[in-house]
Structure 1
C-alpha cells in the first residue's frame, strides 16, 4: 500500500503533463520532498487525448523561448528515461485563404526571424510541392517552420514523471485533494482522500496543475484561476494507402489542423463557436473519459476538410473523438505565483497547447519557485494578470464559447472579444456611450477606443491596414496636439498606501524618492533585484501618511500583490480604491483655458506647477487635479468621487463646446504617448528590462536609503549598458507597426519592435525597440542605418534616443 507522507516541501496537485513537468524540473534543481498527487491516473484528464503538436513560434519572444525549450527537452527525454516519446521533427505548414491571413502569416514569418526561429514563406505552388495531398484552391500563401514537430503526449508525460521519480519525487495516483489548509495568509497543508482513507500533508508550497479542475482547486485557497472546460473535437481516419510522414498542416481559415500518424490522418478543429462543458462540475469518476459525439457540430469542418485534402474522401473514420480541454478568457495560460497567496503557484489552463508548452512552463515555474523571482518576463501568461471577477462561472462559460475559436481566428491587432462584455463600467460610461464612444475592453473594463457620430456609427472593425475608425482616431490625436481633448482613465488602478511608515515603505519599494511634500506626484518604478521593472506607476502624496499609487488597469492586482509581499513589518495598510473615483484626463494646449471655465481655482504654472496635485472645485463639486501627462501635452488628470463624476463630466463638456473640446479614445492616447516615446508597461518595459537600458534612469535616486534593485542599478552604471531603447519612425508614411516586427541595423536583425502605433502628428508609424550598444557612444548608435521588416518587406527608419516629439517636454510644462 502506498504511504503518503505527512509533510513535504512542495505538493503538486495534478498528474497531467504540466504537473509532471513541474515535478521533473523542481527535482532537477535539487528540490527534495516533492510530492505529486493525482486524483485518478497520470494523464487521465486532458493529456492522454491531446493531439501532440510541438510548435515553436509563439506570440512573443519569451513564449517562443519556452516553446523552443520544450521541443529540445522532449528530444532528449527518451535517452534520459528510456521511455519512447514519439518525438519527431516533421515541420509544419500554415496556409492562408484570405489576404488578411496572408498578411498575418507573413508578419509571423518576420517575427520568427526576429526570434531566431527558422522560417520560409511559401507561394501556393510551393505549398503544393511540400504537401502534395493538398488541394491548393483558394490558397494565397503559406509559411514553413522546419523545426516544428509532434510527439506522444501520454508517453512524454510518463517520461517526465519517471525522470522526476528518479530524482526523488513521490508521485501518488488515486488521491483526491479535498482542501487546502490556510493560516497567516499562506497555504500550510493539503488535505487528501484515497478511498476511505483521509489525511493531510503540511507543506511549504502548493502548485495547482489541476487542469480543468484548476479553478476549483484555486478556490480552495482563495486564488483566482479563471478557466473553463470546452468540448474539443477531432477524428482519426482508417489507414490511408501510401500516406507517409507529413508535416503538420494548419488551415486556420477553415478552423482545421491535420497530423499524420502511423499512416492515418488526425483532423482536429477549433470551431468559431465552442461548446463549454462541466459548468456544474466535472463528474467524480472522470478518468480517460470521452464526451458524447456531436457529429452535426463537427460536420462543417469535415466537409471543408474533404475538399482541402481529397484523400479523406476515400478514408473511413476510425475514431470520432470529443474530449474536454480548458480555456482561459484571454487564451493565454496561467503560470506563476498567485497574487493572493504567496506560496500558492499555478500552471493551468493551457488552451489546447499544453503539450507544446509544458516543458518550458515547468522549467520557468520551477526556476521562479527556486529563486523567488521570475527567470525572465512572463507577463503574457502570469496568473497575476487575472482580475478577481473572472472566476465567475457564468462569465467563464460565456467567454469560453469564443476563446477556443480565437486560437484559429485572425489575430488582428486590437481585436476585441465580443462575449462576456459590459461587466466593469466607469462612472462616465453612459454619458460617453451617448456621445458616440465605441468601447474596447481591458481587464474587464469597458473603455472608449474611439468616438464616432452616434447617428452614423463607425463599427469597431479589425484588420492589418487602416480601418474605418483610423480617421476618427487621427482627429482625436490632432485635438490633443492642437486644441483640447478629454479621455476616461477611470479604469487605471488606484492603490491607497496609508500609515505612519507609508513613506519609508514606499521608499523601500520604489526607485524614486518618495520623501516629498504633500501634493507632489512622483513617477517611479518597482524594481526587482536585477534592476528589472516590475511596475511602472505614479505615486501622489495626499497627506503626511497617505499615498495614492496609480497603475495600468490590468496590472493592479499584480502591483498590489507586489506591495503586499514586501510590506513586512512596515506600519502601513494597502487598499484597492479603484472603483471609488472616476478619472477624467483633460489634455492639450487649451486645457488650462478649459479648466478656467469650470473652476475658480488658479491653474497657472505658478499656482499649479507640473508634478503637483491639489483639491479643486469643478462645477458644484470637488475634485483632485493631478498635473501629469501620458500624451505629451499640457494637461491635468481630474480625480472625482464616483458620486460626482457625472456632474463633473457634464460641466466639462458644456464648457468645452466653445473651445472645440473633443472626447478621445485609448487609440489616440496610445498614438500620442508613442510619439513622445513614453514607455508602455508589459511591452517596452518588463521585469527583465533593466531600468537604465530602458532609458528611465532619471526616475531612480540611488542617493536615498536602500531600495529593492539599488545594487543592480549601481552595478549597471559601473559596467555600462549592453543595449538601449530607441524610438524609430518609418520614413514611408504607409506601413503600420504593431509589435514584434524585426529591427535591422546596417542590414542585420538586432531586435524587434516592442510596441508600435501610428504617429499622426509625426506622419509615420512609430516603434520602440531595444538595440545592442556594447561600448558604443550614442552618436555611433544613431549613425547606423535602420530598417524595420513588415510582413517580409523592409522599410527605412529614423532612430532617436530623445523623443521625436517635444524632446525637452516644453509643451507639458507650458
Structure 2
C-alpha cells in the first residue's frame, strides 16, 4: 500500500467511491480509498436504490440532480452498467395542502433546472390503471429519475476511480488519526475474518496523507471519537418489503413499460416494481435509532429483525393505493441501518477544529446524494469552494452543545418526518426546549410560539395563550400571520421588544487583534465606541460570515454574527487566528455567546421606554443623537442591570441592542416590560423581524449572503474598503459581478406570500431566484429579495415571480424601500 498520498478516503460505500472518483477527475493523483470490509458492505448493499430529485434544499437539489445526470454517463466511461432504470418518479397528493407543498418544492426544482410535470388524477389513472386515484388531488412527476442498483453504481464508480489512478484497498480499518503539522498520519489495521466476524489483526501500517475524507456511514460515531469531535450522524432502522409477483402487474408489463417509483407522501411510503412484484418502503413512526455508540464488531452486512406490526398501517395503505397487491404474498424483507442527521441533510465539508480533514457523513439518501457529493466536495477540496453554497450541509451547523441523546431522538424524528408535510414555517417538537434564555418561561406565559435555531428556542411570534402553532402552519398565510403583522406594525408605529439572545458573540483582543481583524474583514475597522458592519470572505472571494464589530478599546473588539452559525463562525475565526498570530502577534478570542443575553428594542417610542429606566445624570439626553449617536456603543445602566448598548436596529427603526449579563435577563425583561406598558410596547418574534429587515433590504447570512456570492454581488460595496488588503480581496475582484441582489415588491396571490425560493422571470426567460420573502406592512403587499442578472437590477424593472404554478407581477425597488434615507433610525430626542 502507498504510505504517502495526497488524499485518503475512508469508507468504500457509494459516497466514498464517488469522492475518490471525483478527486481523481479534478486532477489529484495519489488518491487512496480504504474500506474496512468489502465495497458496498455498509448501508449501500441494502439500500433500495431510489433516486428522488424532490428536495426543499437548494444545495441538496443540486447534489441530487448531478448524481442523476452523472450515473447515466458511467457505463460509457467504465463499461459497467449501473442498473439505472429511468422510470420516473410520481409523487402523489391526497390533499390540497400536499399539492401546495409540491408547488413550493417545484420552485426549487425550477431554479435548479430539474424537469417536472403536473398530473391530474385522471391522467394518472389513464397512464397507470393499477393505481387507485379517486381520492387524489394530483401529483408531480419527475420523468428523468427512477432507481438504480446501489452495488452496481458503486462498482462502476470504483472502476472509474481506478481508471483515473485511484488505489482501492479493502480490509483495512482506520484506527488512529494524528495531525503532523502539515499532514495526517493515519494508523491502519488489517482486518481478517474469524468465526464469521471481521476482527483486527496484528498487522498495522501508517499512511501519511495531506488530506483525509471520512465517508464511514454507520461507523460515523466511531470516526468522530477517533477525531475528538462530535457528530449527530446516527443510523435509524429502515425496513422495506418485497412482494411475490402480482399477476395483474405481470400482465400489465407484457405490453407496457415499468411504473414510475410511486410515492404516496400522505400514506408515508414509496413503492416500485421489483421482478413482477412490488417493493414497499415505509417511513413509519417509531423506527428506533441504532448504534448510538458505535457498530458492534459482529455487525457486518447484516440486518435487524423485521417489525411488521410497526408498518401495518403503511402496508394497508399500499393495498388501498394498488388494489392488485392485496392477494400477493411477501417474498423478502430488509430492515437495516440508514444514517440520519437531525435535519435529514448530510454533513459535508471541513471537520470542526481540524485541518485538511473532510467529513461526508449522515446520508439518509446516500445513493441519490453520492455522485453530487463527490463532485461538490472535490470542488471544495481542490478549488477552495464549490460552485454552490454548501453552508447548509456544513458539519459545524451542530455545535458542541449537541449530545448523543439529542442526535438519536432528533434523527428518529427526521426519519418519521420524511413524508410529513414540510411547511416552510415548520417547527419540529423533539428534544425541545433544550437551550433556552432565562426569559423563556416569561415569554411562554405571554403566548410565545417558539422556533429552534442552533438548539436555542426563541420566539417566532406571540399569540393568545392556548394557540396551536402546529395547526396554524400553511404553505400560504398561516394562522400565525395576523399576529406577525401586528408585531411588525408595533415596531413601525410604536415600540417592540425582541429576544435576540441566540446571536453568536465573540470577544477578540490582544496586541495582534487590530491587524488581524483589518486583514480578516472587508470594511474599515470602527473607532473606539463605534460599530461597523463587515464581512469575512472565503479564499475564493465569496461571503463566509457577516459581522457587526464593536470596538471596545484600541485592541479589543466584540463581534456579533448570526445565531444559527455559532460553531461555523467560531471554527473559521479560530483557524484564521491560528494561521495569522505568528504574523500579527498574540490574539485572544473567546466565545461569549452564552454569557450575554440580548434584547433588541425598536420603534419610534423606544427612546421613551429606555429613558424611564436609564440611570444617568441626565436621563433626558443620555440617549440623544449627541450623546449616543447611531452606529455607536456605550455601557449604560438600566435599573440595576449593566448593559452594553449598541445603537443599531435590524428592523430599520430607532432602536438599540441591549447586551446584558445572562444571569440578569429576567430582571431586565421585567423592568423593560413594565416601562413599556405606558407606550403600548409589544413583544415581537423573529418572523415579523424578518419581514421588517426586508423592507430595509438588510441582507441575511444563509439567504442573501453565502459562499456562492461576493459582497459586491450582494450589492454591498459600502461595506468593502478596496483601499486596503484583506483576505479574499483579489479573488473577489476577479469574480466580478455575475448577478446582483435586489429587493422586489410583489403583487402575489391573495392570502399568500413568497418564502424565498421562488423563480424570477423576465418575459419567458428565467433570470434569477428569490432568497427571502414575506409580507411588508409598510407597503401592504408581498416583498422579497433575490438575485437577478445585473442588467435587470435597475429600479423599476418589471419581473415576474412564480408562486403556485402562476407568474405574478414583481418590481425591482430601490435599496431600502422603507425610509431609504435612514431618517427614522437617526431620529433625535
Name the counterpart of 2:203.
197
Name the counterpart of 2:127.
130
Bigger drift between 758-767 and 494-503 goes to: 758-767
- Structure 2 unaligned regions, length at least 5: 192-200, 617-621
Q: Give 1:189 shift.
A: 2.7
Q: Give 1:785 shift.
A: 2.7
Partner Cα distance (1:140, 1:640) in 2: 52
What secondary structure sits across from 1:53 in the alignment? coil
Match of 2:110 among 106, 110, 113: 113
Name the counterpart of 1:94.
91
Match of 1:539 among 540, 549, 564: 549
Equivalent runs, 1:291-690 vs 2, <5 Å = 291-351=304-364, 353-390=365-402, 392-454=403-465, 456-460=466-470, 461-514=472-525, 516-567=526-577, 568=579, 569=582, 570=584, 571-601=586-616, 602-690=622-710
Q: Deviations over 1:209-232 (max 9, x none)?
A: 001211220221122321121110
Name the counterpart of 2:771.
754
What secondary structure sits across from 1:646 in the alignment? helix
Bigger drift between 322-331 and 214-223 goes to: 214-223
Query: Contact conserved, 1:746 with 1:785, CA < 8 A, in 2?
Result: no
In structure 2, do the counterparts of structure 1 residues 320 and 57 end up closer, same or farther at CA, with 3 Å as the change threshold?
closer
Q: Does residue 1:723 correspond to 2:739, yes or no? A: yes
What secondary structure sits across from 2:401 in the alignment? helix
What secondary structure sits across from 1:196 in the alignment? strand
Match of 2:822 among 801, 809, 812: 809
Q: Give 1:70 shift.
A: 1.0
What secondary structure sits across from 2:721 in the alignment? coil
Name the counterpart of 2:195.
none
Q: Deviations over 1:113-153 (max 9, x none)?
A: 33322221111111222322100131001111111122111
Q: Deviations over 1:281-316 (max 9, x none)?
A: 322122221111111011111001011011211322
Q: Deviations over 1:11-36 (max 9, x none)?
A: 22111100111111112223222222
In structure 2, do the counterparts of structure 1 residues 61 and 418 end up closer, same or farther at CA, with 3 Å as the change threshold?
closer
Query: Contact conserved, 1:93 with 1:143, CA < 8 A, in 2?
Result: yes
What secondary structure sits across from 1:598 in the alignment? coil
Match of 1:242 among 251, 266, 275: 251
Query: Contact conserved, 1:258 with 1:266, CA < 8 A, in 2?
Result: yes
Q: Deviations over 1:635-676 (max 9, x none)?
A: 000011112222222211111111111111111111111122
What secondary structure sits across from 1:322 in the alignment? strand
Q: Deviations over 1:608-660 (max 9, x none)?
A: 11111110011012111001111111100001111222222221111111111
Query: Contact conserved, 2:797 with 2:811, CA < 8 A, in 1?
Result: no
Query: Contact conserved, 1:248 with 1:258, CA < 8 A, in 2?
Result: yes
Name the counterpart of 1:800.
813
Q: Give 1:63 shift.
A: 2.7
Query: Contact conserved, 1:35 with 1:170, CA < 8 A, in 2?
Result: yes
Bigger drift between 576-585 and 213-222 goes to: 213-222
Q: How many corresponding residue pairs?
A: 799
What secondary structure sits across from 2:560 in the alignment? strand
Partner Cα distance (1:216, 1:813) in 2: 55
In structure 2, do the counterparts of structure 1 residues 715 and 197 end up closer, same or farther at CA, with 3 Å as the change threshold?
closer
Partner Cα distance (2:387, 2:354) in 1: 20
Partner Cα distance (1:664, 1:458) in 2: 18
Q: Does residue 1:47 correspond to 2:44, yes or no? A: yes
Bigger drift between 358-367 and 22-31 goes to: 22-31
TM-score (norm 1): 0.95
Query: Contact conserved, 2:242 with 2:278, CA < 8 A, in 1?
Result: yes
Q: Deviations over 1:389-417 (max 9, x none)?
A: 22x11112211221102221111012111
In structure 2, do the counterparts of structure 1 residues 713 and 293 end up closer, same or farther at CA, with 3 Å as the change threshold?
closer
TM-score (norm 2): 0.93
Query: Contact conserved, 1:248 with 1:259, CA < 8 A, in 2?
Result: yes
Query: Contact conserved, 2:477 with 2:751, CA < 8 A, in 1?
Result: no
What secondary structure sits across from 1:54 in the alignment? coil
Q: Give 1:746 shift.
A: 2.7
Query: Contact conserved, 2:33 with 2:166, CA < 8 A, in 1?
Result: yes
Q: Give 1:684 shift.
A: 1.3
Partner Cα distance (2:299, 2:631) in 1: 59
Q: Deviations over 1:337-357 (max 9, x none)?
A: 113212110111111x11111
Partner Cα distance (1:425, 1:348) in 2: 29
Partner Cα distance (2:566, 2:54) in 1: 30
Name the counterpart of 2:24.
27
Query: Contact conserved, 1:458 with 1:469, CA < 8 A, in 2?
Result: no
Q: Give 1:433 shift.
A: 2.3
What secondary structure sits across from 1:300 in the alignment? helix
In structure 2, do the counterparts of structure 1 residues 325 and 260 end up closer, same or farther at CA, with 3 Å as the change threshold?
same
- Structure 1 unaligned regions, length at least 5: none
Name the counterpart of 1:791.
804
Name the counterpart of 2:712.
692
Partner Cα distance (2:409, 2:107) in 1: 35
